[in-house]
Copies of this chain bind each other. A is one copy, B any other.
């Protein structure tokens, strides 16, 4: 089974669009709003911000985007976050990462009001995720939230399963491990210092790979019928028109006949990340959610 994030994200976007339409008709007078802060001129970051803005437009989320120059001071960024925090038309705040190195990323992320933290990077939301506290609501980072949604909507139950996560980044590896654990999976986290990750992946019912190494996982590393979630996005040289292709951390062609389900790259986890950003923004706007 192909776990298509492209298809599911389209469906979620349609659902959200419908929800916004109905709420505006019946209950609320104001559209949901997303505040976006982009610092500097990184080409990738601009592309991502544009994708997010387009997706917002489709759903009916109003954008408030601010582009700050690469030499902005931390105080200026914090003041912008404060302005978004206080703006009643803005229900979610997105700070496009990475920030230039002179800015303290965590300090800026921690300035976002908890209930507008649609990226889930505020340390208090991370703490809630860690100890599974639902108190006052919790916002979870979008990529791991998207993975859980993609599995759930495809009928993949994680409870009681042997789940192996490769990678321990703060935006994917750690939060997906915690989400899986609280969803009653038995979770193993492997990383660069793991001695022979294959001894773990070969016994896993579900493998989540978020490493950034092209085609690292082969059929031989997996057990028959495993479910594979590939978070990797790697550029590999190619003699096609662009000069490259995008591949995941999993060797798709090698494993596809052995696994029971797998996310493609592109079109797997990636689109789900944006869908969850939209969902979190609509949820933050909708008091009935």
Give the B-binding residues of A (Cβ under 8 A): 104, 106-107, 110, 122-133, 135, 159-160, 162, 168, 170, 174, 178, 181, 184, 186-191, 193-195, 197, 199-200, 203
CA of A203 to CA of B194, assembled, Å = 14
Chain B residues near A184 (CB-CB < 8 A):
191, 193
Chain B residues near A159 (CB-CB < 8 A):
193
CA of A133 to CA of B169, assembled, Å = 12
Q: CB distance A186 to B188 under 8 Å?
A: yes
Minimum CB–CB distance for A137 against chain B, Å: 13
Contact of A190 among B186, B197, B203 (CB under 8 A): B186
Q: CB distance A191 to B186 under 8 Å?
A: yes
Minimum CB–CB distance for A131 against chain B, Å: 4
Can you list 15 A-B contacts with CB-CB less than 8 angstroms, sorted by A residue number?
A: A104-B135, A106-B133, A110-B124, A123-B123, A124-B124, A126-B130, A127-B127, A127-B128, A129-B130, A131-B174, A160-B193, A160-B195, A186-B190, A187-B189, A199-B203
CA of A186 to CA of B192, assembled, Å = 10
Q: CB distance A186 to B181 under 8 Å?
A: no
CA of A126 to CA of B188, assembled, Å = 20
CA of A132 to CA of B169, assembled, Å = 10
Q: CB distance B178 to A130 under 8 Å?
A: yes
Candidate in A106, A126, A184, A199 with the most chain B CB atoms within 10 angstroms: A126
Given the known interface contacts A186-B190, A189-B187, A194-B186, the answer about A170 and B131 at a Cβ–Cβ threshold of 8 Å is yes
